[in-house]
Structure 1
Amino acid sequence: MNDVDLKNALERIATLERELSEYQHIETKLRENEEKFRLLVESTSDWIWEVDAHGKYTYVSPQVEMLLGYSPAEVVGKSPFNFIPSEEVQHVGSEFIKCIENRLPIIALRNTNICKDGTLKILETNGVPFFDKKGDFAGYRGIDRDITERILIETMLKQERDFSNRLVETAPLIIVILSPEGKIIRFNTFMESVSGYSLKEVEGKDWFDIFLPESHREKTKKIFMTAIDDIQTIGNLNTILTKDGSQKLIEWYDKTLKNAEGNTVGLLSIGLDVTDRKEDEEKLKLFRLLLDHSSDAIEIIEPLSMRFLDINETECKTLGYTREEMLSMRVFDIDPMLNADSMEEINHQLLQTGSVQTERIHRRKDGSIFPVEVNVTLVQHDKSYILGIARDITERKIAEQSLRESEEKFHSITASAQDAILMMDDEGKITYWNKSAEKIFGYSENEIMGWPLHDLLAPKRFLAAHHIGFDHFKKTGEGAAIGKIVELAALKKDGTEFPIELSLSTILKNGRWSAIGILRDITERKKMEKEIKEKDEMMLAQSKQAAMGDMIAMIAHQWRQPLAIMGMEINNLLMAIGFNEEITTDYLVKLSEALNKQVQQLSTTIDNFRNFFKPNQSKVEITIDEVIHNTLNIIGSSCENNNITLTIHDTSKSSLLINTSSLIQVFLNLLGNAKDILLTNKVADAAITITVTETDEVIIISICDNAGGIPESIIHKIGQPYFTTKQEFNGTGLGLYISRSIIEKHLFGTLTWHNEEKGACFVITLKIKPDKEDVTPE
């Protein structure tokens, strides 16, 4: 061996030594890593495994025995599906095959394993594929972790969450969660039913804008934003608006929500809809208020001890005790006449009928006594109670005594009355008949009592109308003659018909209507009225006859102007003929028209005169303006020829249904009187003013002159028959009397007079639509 060879050999030995040293170092590190891996595998609670390409375990860590109860030897060589329940094999197998086929890692695959003792455990499997040196798929290595307890906790948490959600959604409470900004995060089904909004409609929207009334929206929102970090309210009452615009009163219980770091994340609000409760409370308060202010004393009594359990304010005031004093007392303390026997009788009736009405005597705290009417009822609630209602009947007793005395007076008065007084019950039968009724009708009390009133006393022609009206009277106590004085016809016992004046009133007795009538025989009065009517008609005729001379004079005045015009036109024609002037057709037509116009005016005057004196004139629909125009056709020229200015102010529009000539007669009388006094007093600028105004109900006509007025010494006398101030004019003193009679009796109005600054005014007031009783047949 030469030096070169020795050198090379030494270098190889040195290299081998170095390699051996590195190998020993690597081997040491490997053993250290294997020890670390072994310690890691043995100390972890997870099961580490390896399966080959056929899915058979080739390695399992010792933890398999702790997890499933099997030793590693019992597991190696078997498939994972040997330990999985049959019902899960298909699901887990499909997932496992999918991973193998695609060489995908197994991630968090949950699978149930059967332990050696038969119990079940849920494992979470994670694994990755590995390959041999050639790159061929060799199997999976992975870890199984026992998640049974975690799954159990998750299940319990889910169940708890589900329970909470069901509780939230089914609870009859409003549950709302708001963000720190007041936005709606969530509310439950009950809130949807109360508000009318679904969560979807309002989620993320401002709570205050949607649900709070505008009047305090901004103020409440400002308070919320200020206090959101520390809100905890109990029983705060607020009103919310519903979708339909109605309001609900809510009692809120609020608490700020914070996360683990203590930051505010929202507000939890639980609300009770107390709208109905508040209404019920108000109703209860109202009921108690009504109870306490009842005019009757009300008591709740314990049946066995007869002790007062509750009483109203009226009971306390009536008896003079405080509420506390009354609640310590028994019925026997206020009813001095109540004893064992009477109490037994009341209890017997209560058991038989459930209620008793009786009159008793109550004693006040000061010892005074007073009569009461007591209604006692047995009521059942949680047990039996006695409800007592006591009414002070002191005034009723006084009234009953007064009634008895009044009835005695009534009988004594009616017995001596000159008018017939009778009563009729709801069957139409006579129940009372005084002595004067016997004299007037001829029936004795014994003969007529209990007989139908109308069948005996009313003429047959009225019976049909009576039967119709009487049915209404029986039900309502109302009738056409009730509360009025009417004139009717009646029959005496001998069949004689005679006129009566009847005053009829009603009385409700024991729930039934009766009538009381006072009848007066007005035969003599009717005779006198007939005589007066005949006298009035005679005076009216006299007045018209007396007016005839004035009328003829007025007509002469009215005719003078048309006749003068006609004479002038005829003279013009004669002169044209005398001078041989050409007389054209146009001239003759104009002449004819002028003459015809004057003839028409003459004819109108004659018609007005004839109509004025025509008897039995019919009523016509006419305006006051038309009546004034017809009147002035008669008297207008007379006034004009005497230099009297006639001024008319008429603002009325309505028409009246009247006898025209009657009103014309009144106007002629009033205008004639004014004309005469103006001429007598020789008034300069003599004037008569006619003013017509109208309201909703009446037309008012004022006829005023400027003759200085009526002397105060005689103003109360004018209008009386045969009183006149026109002796020099041969006045009859009937004009104004007849005028007032016409206005009041025929036109159903009024005629009054008074003095004004320049003269006298006569005022006629007429109804536009007369009352039915004012309307008389033609």
Structure 2
Amino acid sequence: MDEVVKILIVEADDIIQQAITKKLTENGVDCFETKTAVQLSGSLEMLDRNVFDLVLLDLYLPDSTGINTLKSVRSAIPNTPVIVFVEQADIVSVKNICGEMQTSYVTKDSGFVDKLLKTICHVVHNIHQKELELGNQKFRIYIDNAPDGVFIANYNGLFIDVNNAACTMSGYSRDELLHMQTTDFIAEESKNDAAEHLKKTVTVGNAVADLWYVTKNGEKRCFTIKAVKVSDKELLGFCRDITIRKQMELSLQESEARFRAIAEYSHDAIGILNEKGKFVWINHRFVEISGYSYDEIMGSDIFQERLSSDSADLVVGNIRKFLDRKHYDNHYYFSFLNKNDRLCYAEMYMTDFVDKLGKRNLVLHYLDVTERKLVDEKVKAQLQELLRWQDIILGRETRIIELKGEVNELCDKLGQPSRYNLKL
């Protein structure tokens, strides 16, 4: 029922109507909202179109009289409280009918309006009581069938009441739990947190904590406990089993710790770009190779700005392809200038992943190959020099062979034997 009680007054006498309305207004202030009807037909139409909390009914109307009036109204609203107005002479005949139809009555005699007001207050009180009882029953049904564990405990942590889910989660029966305290099956590692949680609930009025419990069968489970202080003696708590989520979180934390241990101190530079192309994480080696500080790199475009002219299109183009969700080259070589304007060479590996928030990230993993590049160039230069000398030496040997051939020809012309054996 709303706070405002909606009442339909079915009374043909205007004076009585006004007297009732005035009395309700004076005593109820804004608690009562009234509508009136002077005939049975009109009242039935109003009952069909509106919902009323209470009907005040005169049995003698222009279009209906006596018990038939009540029967017609009761047919329309079998469950709505009705108070009928009866003449003193009709009390005996009406009394039994009213009892059968769960209807109250007030006699039209001296003090009629005052008696009516008392009866209205009594009926409204009964309505509220029934609704409260119904609400309590519904609340109990909701609590008993709630998927989360629900418990009531005193300030010492002694259980006063628990629902079915709390029994299922703990493994204990209701009778067993009602002889236990909240700390009786707290896991050792959560005892201090549980004590702080209870203390905060009592002093502040509410608290939330993730606590580990040991169930009756010895299994360790993690519950989120949300507790509130509902009175000077009692606490209301809601618990949800988050064991699987907690295990996943711990596993994720271990994975992240392993990743950081490997990535932070890797000999290779590693950086992560977000969907906007900004760095959200870099390792120590990345800082060392670039020459820039952590703060200078994070959230900036320095990496792209310091690319050499012959590498800018390649690297920036691949990052752009990632941002546009297109296929990109995941392995290539590039060069860049560090903070000291030293030209550095690197071998790049790129891959992307989706984080726990559903955001795409690009991992830049590159090896500093500057020394290798310089060594390669030095070896290449040495090889070219060797080839040059080889050409020079081979050229001289060819000329010597040619001169020896010419000497042999002169000897032959002079009739002398050849001096050099040029046959291979």
Q: Kindly provide the CA deviation profile for residues 647-693 of structure 1, in whole angstroms up to 9, marking residues without a partner as x.
A: xxxxxxxxxxxxxxxxxxxxxxxxxxxxxxxxxxxxxxxxxxxxxxx
Match of 1:202 in 2: 297
Match of 2:91 in 1: 7
Match of 1:83 in 2: 185
Deviation at 1:208, TM superposition (A): 5.3
Match of 2:350 in 1: 254
Q: 1:319-334, aligned counterparts within 5 Å?
A: none
Distance 1:90 1:189 in 2: 38
1:18 aligns with 2:106: no
Q: Kindly provide the CA deviation profile for residues 12-45 of structure 1, in whole angstroms up to 9, marking residues without a partner as x.
A: 973881379997998699569736843x445444
1:234 aligns with 2:361: no
Match of 1:127 in 2: 227
Distance 1:249 1:289 in 2: 22
Distance 2:140 2:176 in 1: 22
Q: Kindly provide the CA deviation profile for residues 497-532 of structure 1, in whole angstroms up to 9, marking residues without a partner as x.
A: xxxxxxxxxxxxxxxxxxxxxxxxxxxxxxxxxxxx
Match of 1:147 in 2: 242
Deviation at 1:242, TM superposition (A): 1.0
Distance 1:120 1:26 in 2: 44
- Secondary structure in 2 matching 1:82: coil
- For the structure 1 residues 232 and 223, does the alpha-carbon distance in structure 2 shift closer, same or farther, using more than 3 Å as the test? closer
Q: Kindly provide the CA deviation profile for residues 327-355 of structure 1, in whole angstroms up to 9, marking residues without a partner as x.
A: xxxxxxxxxxxxxxxxxxxxxxxxxxxxx
Deviation at 1:186, TM superposition (A): 3.2
Counterpart amino acid of residue 63 in structure 1 = A
Residue of 339, 358, 371 corresponding to 1:276 = 371
- For the structure 1 residues 55 and 221, does the alpha-carbon distance in structure 2 shift closer, same or farther, using more than 3 Å as the test? closer
Given that 1:210 and 1:241 are in contact with CA atoms closer than 8 Å, whether structure 2 keeps it comes out as no
Deviation at 1:139, TM superposition (A): 0.3
- Secondary structure in 2 matching 1:193: helix
Given that 2:152 and 2:234 are in contact with CA atoms closer than 8 Å, whether structure 1 keeps it comes out as yes
Counterpart amino acid of residue 18 in structure 1 = T
- For the structure 1 residues 168 and 53, does the alpha-carbon distance in structure 2 shift closer, same or farther, using more than 3 Å as the test? closer
- Secondary structure in 1 matching 2:292: coil
Match of 1:158 in 2: 253
Q: 1:175-574, aligned counterparts within 5 Å?
A: 175-178=270-273, 182-207=277-302, 210-213=305-308, 215=309, 223=317, 227=321, 228-229=323-324, 230=326, 232-255=328-351, 267-285=362-380
Deviation at 1:172, TM superposition (A): 2.1
Given that 1:186 and 1:199 are in contact with CA atoms closer than 8 Å, whether structure 2 keeps it comes out as no
Given that 2:189 and 2:212 are in contact with CA atoms closer than 8 Å, whether structure 1 keeps it comes out as no
Distance 1:3 1:261 in 2: 76
1:97 aligns with 2:190: no
- For the structure 1 residues 94 and 253, does the alpha-carbon distance in structure 2 shift closer, same or farther, using more than 3 Å as the test? closer
Distance 2:295 2:203 in 1: 46
- For the structure 1 residues 288 and 43, does the alpha-carbon distance in structure 2 shift closer, same or farther, using more than 3 Å as the test? farther
Deviation at 1:273, TM superposition (A): 1.4
- For the structure 1 residues 65 and 9, does the alpha-carbon distance in structure 2 shift closer, same or farther, using more than 3 Å as the test? same
Q: Kindly provide the CA deviation profile for residues 279-314 of structure 1, in whole angstroms up to 9, marking residues without a partner as x.
A: 333345456666777769xxxxxxxxxxxxxxxxx9
Counterpart amino acid of residue 78 in structure 1 = M
Counterpart amino acid of residue 48 in structure 1 = V
Structure 2: which 5+ runs fail to align? 1-85, 105-121, 395-399, 405-424
Q: 1:730-745, aligned counterparts within 5 Å?
A: none
Deviation at 1:153, TM superposition (A): 0.7
Given that 2:157 and 2:183 are in contact with CA atoms closer than 8 Å, whether structure 1 keeps it comes out as no
Counterpart amino acid of residue 105 in structure 1 = N
Deviation at 1:76, TM superposition (A): 0.3
- For the structure 1 residues 262 and 204, does the alpha-carbon distance in structure 2 shift closer, same or farther, using more than 3 Å as the test? closer
Match of 1:527 in 2: none
Match of 1:112 in 2: 212
- Secondary structure in 1 matching 2:88: helix
1:62 aligns with 2:164: yes
- Secondary structure in 1 matching 2:339: coil
Q: TM-score, normalised by structure 1?
A: 0.32
Q: TM-score, normalised by structure 2?
A: 0.56
Counterpart amino acid of residue 173 in structure 2 = S
Give the stretch that moved more between structures: 266-275 or 236-245: 266-275
More relative contact order in 1 or in 2 (CA 8 Å, sep 6+)? Answer: 2
- Secondary structure in 1 matching 2:216: coil
Distance 1:95 1:222 in 2: 52
Distance 1:119 1:185 in 2: 40
- Secondary structure in 1 matching 2:168: helix
Distance 1:145 1:76 in 2: 19
Q: Kindly provide the CA deviation profile for residues 616-650 of structure 1, in whole angstroms up to 9, marking residues without a partner as x.
A: xxxxxxxxxxxxxxxxxxxxxxxxxxxxxxxxxxx
Deviation at 1:159, TM superposition (A): 1.2
Given that 2:355 and 2:361 are in contact with CA atoms closer than 8 Å, whether structure 1 keeps it comes out as no
Counterpart amino acid of residue 234 in structure 1 = N
Deviation at 1:179, TM superposition (A): 5.0
Deviation at 1:257, TM superposition (A): 6.4
Q: 1:609-624, aligned counterparts within 5 Å?
A: none
Given that 2:145 and 2:164 are in contact with CA atoms closer than 8 Å, whether structure 1 keeps it comes out as no
- For the structure 1 residues 125 and 262, does the alpha-carbon distance in structure 2 shift closer, same or farther, using more than 3 Å as the test? closer
Distance 1:256 1:118 in 2: 43
Distance 1:52 1:61 in 2: 16
Deviation at 1:47, TM superposition (A): 1.7
Q: Kindly provide the CA deviation profile for residues 551-606 of structure 1, in whole angstroms up to 9, marking residues without a partner as x.
A: xxxxxxxxxxxxxxxxxxxxxxxxxxxxxxxxxxxxxxxxxxxxxxxxxxxxxxxx
Given that 1:105 and 1:126 are in contact with CA atoms closer than 8 Å, whether structure 2 keeps it comes out as yes
Distance 1:143 1:178 in 2: 41
Deviation at 1:187, TM superposition (A): 2.3
- For the structure 1 residues 80 and 292, does the alpha-carbon distance in structure 2 shift closer, same or farther, using more than 3 Å as the test? same
- For the structure 1 residues 183 and 177, does the alpha-carbon distance in structure 2 shift closer, same or farther, using more than 3 Å as the test? same
Deviation at 1:66, TM superposition (A): 2.6
Match of 1:73 in 2: 175
Given that 1:231 and 1:256 are in contact with CA atoms closer than 8 Å, whether structure 2 keeps it comes out as no
- For the structure 1 residues 130 and 13, does the alpha-carbon distance in structure 2 shift closer, same or farther, using more than 3 Å as the test? farther
Structure 1: which 5+ runs fail to align? 132-136, 297-313, 318-393, 399-778
- Secondary structure in 2 matching 1:128: strand
Query: RMSD over aligned Cα, in angstroms?
Result: 4.5
Distance 1:86 1:41 in 2: 29
Deviation at 1:4, TM superposition (A): 1.8
Kindly, what percent of the aligned residue pairs are identical? 21
- Secondary structure in 1 matching 2:157: coil
Distance 1:86 1:18 in 2: 63
- For the structure 1 residues 167 and 53, does the alpha-carbon distance in structure 2 shift closer, same or farther, using more than 3 Å as the test? closer
Counterpart amino acid of residue 14 in structure 1 = C
